[in-house]
Amino acid sequence: MLEKVSIEHITIGMYIEQIQANNTRTKMKKPGFIRRSETIENLRQKGVEFVWINSEAVDEELTVEQHQGPQTNASAEMAKSVSRTINVKDISIAEELLDISKKRIQKLLDDIYSNQPIDIEPISELGSDIVDNIFTRPEAVHWVSAIRNKSDYLMEHSLNVSIHLVNFGRYLGLDQQTLQDLAIGGIVHDVGKILVKDEVLNKPGKLTPEEFDHMKLHQVYSQPVLDSIEGLPETSRMVSLMHHEKLDGTGYPNGLQGDDLPLIGRMSCIVDIYDALTAERCYKAAMSPSEAFKIMMSLTPFHLDRDLLKKFIMCVGFYPIGSLVELSNGRIGFVWESDSSDLTTPVVKTFFSAREQAYRNIEYVCLKKRPDIKIIRAVSESKIGVDFSRFRSITA
């Protein structure tokens, strides 16, 4: 798969197939890996503005260097470049999953809207894809949340709830079948929203009591739809039925209380709220994960299960991939790669100075190799008042 990358962001280790100068795209006579910074400088001097890289290609030579060491400055630089190349691949996988998932979920919603019978097969297939990807490429799947688009909220919220449920279920050690059922549950959990009035569903601001009552009806609307899906697993149904319940019995639709709200229901409540808080909507900015966790902790123990929420926080981490952080050297950037064995020292792609409120050259800071630099806080774009979304892309 080819990826377009601007000249400023070409790095050693990328495999270049095509270049673009003066709006003309040309195939390289000799496609290949960039191994020296001089090559990048040459391209720049020739007026190249963009290159098309093969994100699947991994430079074996660099991989060998990375594993054999010793870590000279040059080999460390190249090792960084290898992992960055792999990261391009992660984003491509995430984009592909997002694209396919949106089409499948859109089909599901269209079928509901036009009263067509709903086939469990494609939903189940999407569920399997999500579970498979979380086991084989968890980092890639986590990018889905970071590259979501606010205008496709319902579809992307369903996909994200599905991903978070599977990831959380895996963290809790739930069996494979339950994970698969959780994935399906996430996809269908809000199907009733398709029948909620648009002006209520997308209202910019707080709902009136009457509007809130109408919004709550999505749970009522969901029931006949779920009943009509032949072969829908019980666990999946529970995700949909219980994600608005509260431990003190004040939730809806059934006012389940305490032990009547089982693990699947409690997980669903946590995941649904987390995704809603951290999503950007046309009427509200996205919260950082840590801000969302703070609010969610304040909803315990009467609404959410405190011990389970603590586990969810451990599972997601305060600095998930794609989240924005400020470093102790004053730079702001996105968490770019993360190592599940140590969530506090990810690689951060920095591009902004918090002190000077100005853009700076892009740098990839590996906190594991830079113990002198720490993450001091998670930040949100809305608080800084700048839109950084273009830096989430490799083509920024």
Distance CA 139, CA 133 (A): 9
CA quadruple 149, 152, 155, 156: dihedral, nearest 10: 10
**Among residues 247 and 348, whose Cβ is nearest to Fe ion?**
247
Q: What residue has token string 């999407």?
A: 126
**Among residues 188 and 394, whose Cβ is nearest to Fe ion?**
188
Backbone angles phi, psi at 208, to 5 degrees: -70, 165
275 belongs to the binding site for Fe ion (CB under 5 A): no
What does each C-alpha distance from 187 to 114, 122, 247 come to in angstroms?
Answer: 19, 11, 24
Taking the complex as a whole, the smallest distance from the CB of residue 191 to Fe ion amounts, in Å, to 9
240: its two tokens:
């949909």
**Among residues 11 and 222, whose Cβ is nearest to Fe ion?**
222
Distance CA 126, CA 394 (A): 26
Taking the complex as a whole, the smallest distance from the CB of residue 126 to Fe ion amounts, in Å, to 19
Of 5, 7, 17, the closest CA to residue 54 belongs to 17
Q: Applying CB under 5 A, which part among 169-177, 183-191, 261-269, 384-392 lies near Fe ion?
A: 183-191
- Residues in contact with Fe ion, total (CB under 5 A)? 1
Q: Applying CB under 5 A, which part among 23-31, 108-116, 182-190, 375-383 lies near Fe ion?
A: 182-190
Amino acid in position 344: T
Residue number of the CB atom closest to Fe ion: 190
**Among residues 93 and 267, whose Cβ is nearest to Fe ion?**
267
What does each C-alpha distance from 189 to 109, 136, 226, 331, 394 come to in angstroms?
Answer: 12, 25, 9, 39, 32
**Among residues 21 and 195, whose Cβ is nearest to Fe ion?**
195
Taking the complex as a whole, the smallest distance from the CB of residue 36 to Fe ion amounts, in Å, to 54
Window 187 to 206, contacts with Fe ion (CB under 5 A): 190
Taking the complex as a whole, the smallest distance from the CB of residue 190 to Fe ion amounts, in Å, to 4
x-or-dash string of contact with Fe ion, 137-176, rule CB under 5 A: ----------------------------------------
Q: Under the rule (CB under 5 A), what is the footprint of Fe ion?
A: 190
